[in-house]
Amino acid sequence: MSDLLIVDSVTKSYAFGGLFGRGTFKAVDNVSFTLEAARPEIFTIVGESGSGKTTLARMILNLIAPTSGTIRFRGTDLNAIRGSRARMDFMRHVQPIFQNPFEVFNPLKKVDHYLFMTARRFAGASKTAEVEAHADAALQKVGLSLAEVKGRFPHELSGGQLQRTAIARALIPGPSLLVADEPVSMVDASLRMSIVNLFRTLRDDLRVSIIYITHDLATAYYISDRIIIMQKGVVVESGPARQVLDNPQHPYSILLKESVLSPETIGEGILGLARHTGEGPPEASAEGGAATRTLAQPRSS
């Protein structure tokens, strides 16, 4: 079985202190996991603010280097990627989705500019018709079309439309891995479910793996195949998402679940959103009902 991504004993340390003493602390501490190429999945990294999620994401995106440990993408050590051609090739396969689409797009530039630029850089398109066809195809994959976004500035689109456009841009190179760092936290609550549903569609239809970084346990429960829970840089618990979240073992996971997954956030969150958008998959009403109860139950042990 070939591996898409291997994160092997990865640590990122930062120095702190000044005149009165110096030291280092580990933002990410000895994290390991593997994604298989043949089995696209939504792999979720959960943890409260400061737990090291973004630092881990930035290392996977090869934006910063680990202090120790290795990250391999399709067998290549990210540390060994040198030169613009090798970097471009890596970026073709591993694309980021950021938290705030309004920060990703320059407010003074039309959003189609980014789509066209990506099509020229990564899809080898040069003629206008070709470039537009790539942009339109990517937008169709996220439920939009070029006609809807062409000529429009970021502020002329809703947060949800803009995040979908950002996802469309990331799809143009034909990636096999998306690293999505809090992709729905800035999106209006009523649109969150449609975005997370989109991730499931991308996994199933385009066979793209997604590293989904969030502190939102409700959407994590809803879309994840596997999950790791991080606390202070360390993975305290990992496994199939529902197994971990239904029956967390580590005190931090239990606390996280109890503090985040109140009956309101779950009951009115998942099901309410599904009702609101009309996009809830069958599980939202069938299995999701049971899941909701399970999550909302007080711990029996």
**Beta carbon nearer to ligand ATP, 17 or 50:** 50
Contacts of ligand ATP in 197-226 (CB under 6 A): 215
**Beta carbon nearer to ligand ATP, 49 or 84:** 49
Contact letters for ligand ATP, residues 150-189 (x by CB under 6 A):
----------------------------------------
**Beta carbon nearer to ligand ATP, 72 or 215:** 215
CB 48 within 8 A of CB 215: yes
Compute the least distance from the CB of residue 103 to ligand ATP, in Å: 14
Compute the least distance from the CB of residue 29 to ligand ATP, in Å: 10
Length of the chain: 301
Compute the least distance from the CB of residue 94 to ligand ATP, in Å: 18
Q: How far apart are the C-alpha atoms of 18 and 13, rounded to whole Å?
A: 16
| Total residues at interface with ligand ATP (CB under 6 A) | 11
Compute the least distance from the CB of residue 55 to ligand ATP, in Å: 3
Q: How far apart are the C-alpha atoms of 196 and 219, rounded to whole Å?
A: 7
**Beta carbon nearer to ligand ATP, 51 or 253:** 51
Residue 193 phi/psi, 5-degree rounding, is -65, -35
The radius of gyration of the chain from alpha carbons, rounded to an integer in Å, stands at 20
Got the DSSP string for 77-122? Answer: EGGG--HHHHHHHHHHHEEEE-S-HHHHS-TTS-HHHHHHHHHHHH
Compute the least distance from the CB of residue 173 to ligand ATP, in Å: 25
Q: How far apart are the C-alpha atoms of 70 and 10, rounded to whole Å?
A: 6
Compute the least distance from the CB of residue 52 to ligand ATP, in Å: 4
**Beta carbon nearer to ligand ATP, 194 or 214:** 214
**Beta carbon nearer to ligand ATP, 27 or 191:** 27
Largest alpha-carbon pair distance within the chain? 64
Contacts of ligand ATP in 18-77 (CB under 6 A): 27, 47, 49-55
Nearest alpha-carbon partner for 298 in 257, 268, 264, 270: 257
Using CA atoms, how far residue 156 sits from 102, 109, 146, 185, in Å, is 11, 11, 14, 20
Residues in contact with ligand ATP by CB under 6 A are: 14, 27, 47, 49-55, 215
